[in-house]
Structure 1
Amino acid sequence: MASARVRAGAFLVFGEAPARRPQTSREGAAINEPRINERIRVPEVRLVGPKGEQVGIVRIEDALRLAQDAELDLVEVAPNSRPPVVKLMDYGKFKYEAAVKAREARRNQANTEIKEMRFRLKIDDHDYETKKGHVVRFLKGGDKVKVTIMFRGREQSRPEFGRRLLMKLAEEVQEFGVVENAPNQEGRNMSLVLGPLKKKAEAKEEQRKAREERKAAETAARDERKTPKGAAAE
């Protein structure tokens, strides 16, 4: 029993994994960070100017001196090239702008939803137009739309009719969306995915401007109604 308790105690101590530390290179920099300035330890580099101009192959000492004179950083952008490619840039500004773009991309990705609209193969014209209106509204709002045809009974043996209906819808809403996934049949359903032509952020900004313009027009009309008819003539 004593030995069992010792083993259990050892398991509790050693079974807990230590916290992971960020991997670093021998110079102490994170592996996913490029080498900059004095950490670039090669005799020669292919130098690119701050505006993308090709300077050519120079000694690392000369590249570092040019960076210092221009008050910029020397950043290794292609370490596996022979010789490595380096660029003169403001590295702090570069990292900030990259972080802003990454946040914007994540926000747009998170805000984009996939809506779903379901059709029956034998849908009447009124229901078709109503559902198409919803699809257009979703696309104008910057969301993707998965359009699904649900087959009943023997309808499964004629998938071409479902494909024809889906492509008809895609053609009628092409002003607002584009086909991202072609019609694909899975069991009793056939679906395609429509992607918006405008990003979620752009669609929201347009909707905001439209609301402001509509509100301004309503305010102007209300003020005009309140103004006495004789006052305009005076």
Structure 2
Amino acid sequence: MKKILIMIVGCFFTSLGLYVLKSASLVTGGTAGLSLSASYLFPISFGVLFTIINIPFYILSYKKMGKEFTISTILAVTTVTVLSSIITTYFPPLAFHPLVGSIVGGIIIGAGVVVLFMNGSSLGGAQILSITLQKQFNWNMGKTNFIFDTIVILIGMYSIGVLRGFYSILSVLIVSTMLSRFKEQIAKRNTKPVKVTSTEPILETSSM
């Protein structure tokens, strides 16, 4: 029950941060940003694209991170989708300067993502890739996430313009910096303990 509540808190922060970015007319990184950018180019809804793009990452997650992490990630993605819809419907409309929106939104999203990672979950896409590379090769999670998200935002510049694209990159940099700050704790939380399977007796030594 505690794990579910923590996941909801992380999802709420993430959804709120996305709302702030949207209020500043900025885009985000990850598969959400990629899906949003693709929806402008193809006659396919955001929800369908978001689901399709995440499928390969779910498979990677299942193979590298296990069943529990993958299920938790799918639930987190679904929760963020629902909470984002609720916030957009019932929260008062906001208007942020792009610089303020990128900083505030980045900090809030970063907090939400860190909470999710520390709770053994993620929001799919690049986050699954980042934590897998961190676990397998000790690659810096924040840098990997930043590179992927920056590429996504560069694609999104086609629809929001260059200036707002750079503001969006700033928000991604903030999120990535927060991930890097907590990378060791996240890695420990998502590393399965090695079970001792040896049946050899433990020899005791006595002093003479």
TM-score by length of 2: 0.23
Decide which structure has the larger Cα Rg and report it.
Answer: 1
Larger RCO (CA under 8 A, 6+ residues apart): 2
> Larger % of helix: which?
2
TM-score by length of 1: 0.21
> Larger % of strand: which?
1
